[in-house]
């Protein structure tokens, strides 16, 4: 165990680079204290651009209703598949439950490391992956042709990469469709991946974040979701990444993400 400002970090500070996630044990007095710790742990820069705070959220909103009992596997801010304009791109996500929050002990964050999961089957080469993802965006992924394509749903990226029969809902066919509602339950999502040779349960990491703790993970090395319901105002989320990244830099970012498929 190593310490960051008197808080214990599972496995040492190299875990974020080696495994893609780490958990900081402690009782942070306020979210800003947790964010300060997270800022010390994430890299300051990458080849694309500086890493900075690009989003702060509370899930569910304090004045809203409890969340549904399941959140699909996804990537915050999405993966830029066909970028056409500068856009914010997420690199690391920090999660924190304040001590004073209404805590739901049943809510568990699900982390799915891409490389060990994707090694379960063979994939096409890089150029073919890009071709399939681009075609999927044209037919299923974007409301308007020519507007570019960014995909946040892990299941939809898998469906596109496989190039098989498309079964997930399309925003092109149903403009009212909301990303994240592809599946009615966790069992439905798990079955979707299993039928495609991807055993989610064999590699998934589950974390029940305690009040006062901090969870930090690499947003593109792992897909993440949730099982269980969260109470209004329970989870605080800070996203670190690249602000207004140029389209060419987004393409390079996308290609590093696709390396998880091709090795």
Distance, in Å, from the CA atom of 21 to the CA atom of 104, rounded to the nearest integer, reads: 22
Mean pLDDT of 180-188: 91
Q: From its phi and psi, is residue 11 left (phi > 0), alpha (psi between -120 and 50) or beta?
A: left
Per-residue pLDDT, 177: 76
Q: In this model, does residue 103 exceed pLDDT 60?
A: yes
Mean pLDDT of 49-71: 92
Sheet holding 205-207, edge to edge: 149-153, 70-82, 222-227, 108-113, 205-207
The mean-pLDDT minimum among 12-21, 68-77, 235-244 falls in 12-21
- Digit-coded pLDDT (tens) for 10-56: 555 577 878 899 998 878 888 999 999 999 889 887 776 899 999 99
In the chain, the number of structural domains is 1
Residue 144 binned pLDDT confidence (cut-offs 50, 70, 90): low
H-state helical runs in the chain: 15-18, 31-41, 114-118, 126-136, 154-162, 186-194, 200-203, 247-262
Q: In this model, does residue 84 exceed pLDDT 60?
A: yes
Three-state secondary structure call for residue 106: coil
Per-residue pLDDT, 143: 60
- Digit-coded pLDDT (tens) for 208-228: 999 999 999 999 999 999 999
Full residue range of the structural domain in which residue 27 is found: 2-262
Per-residue pLDDT, 174: 76
Per-residue pLDDT, 19: 86
CATH number at 71 reads 3.60.130
Q: In this model, does residue 5 exceed pLDDT 50?
A: no
Per the model's pLDDT, the better-predicted residue between 20 and 100 turns out to be 20
Per-residue pLDDT, 56: 97
Cα-Cα-Cα-Cα dihedral of 96, 1, 36, 66, to 10°?
Answer: 0
Residue 263 binned pLDDT confidence (cut-offs 50, 70, 90): confident
pTM of the model: 0.92
Residue 139 binned pLDDT confidence (cut-offs 50, 70, 90): confident
Residue 181 binned pLDDT confidence (cut-offs 50, 70, 90): confident
């Amino acid at each position: 165990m190593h310490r960051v400002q008197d808080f214990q970090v599972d496995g040492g500070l190299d875990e974020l680079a080696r495994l893609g996630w780490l958990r900081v044990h402690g009782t942070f007095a306020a979210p800003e204290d947790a964010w300060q710790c997270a800022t010390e742990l994430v890299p300051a820069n990458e080849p694309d651009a500086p890493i900075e705070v690009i989003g702060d959220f509370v899930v569910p909103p304090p004045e809203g209703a409890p969340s549904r009992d399941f959140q699909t596997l996804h990537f915050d801010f999405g993966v830029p598949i066909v970028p056409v304009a500068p856009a914010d791109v997420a690199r690391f996500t920090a999660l924190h439950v304040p001590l004073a929050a209404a805590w739901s002990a049943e809510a568990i964050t699900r982390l799915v490391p891409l490389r060990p999961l994707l090694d379960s089957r063979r994939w096409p080469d890089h150029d073919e992956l890009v071709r399939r993802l681009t075609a999927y965006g044209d037919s299923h992924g974007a409301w308007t042709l020519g507007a570019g394509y960014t995909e946040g749903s892990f299941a939809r990226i898998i469906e596109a990469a496989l190039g098989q029969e498309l079964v997930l809902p399309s925003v092109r066919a149903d403009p009212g469709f909301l990303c994240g509602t592809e599946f009615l339950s966790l069992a439905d999502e798990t079955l979707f991946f299993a039928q495609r040779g991807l055993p989610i349960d064999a590699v998934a990491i589950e974390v029940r974040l305690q009040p006062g703790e901090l969870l930090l993970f690499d947003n593109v090395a792992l897909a993440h979701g949730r099982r269980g319901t969260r109470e209004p105002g329970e989870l605080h989320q800070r996203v670190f990444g690249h602000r207004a990244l140029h389209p060419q830099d987004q393409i390079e970012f996308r290609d590093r993400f696709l390396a998880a498929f091709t090795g």
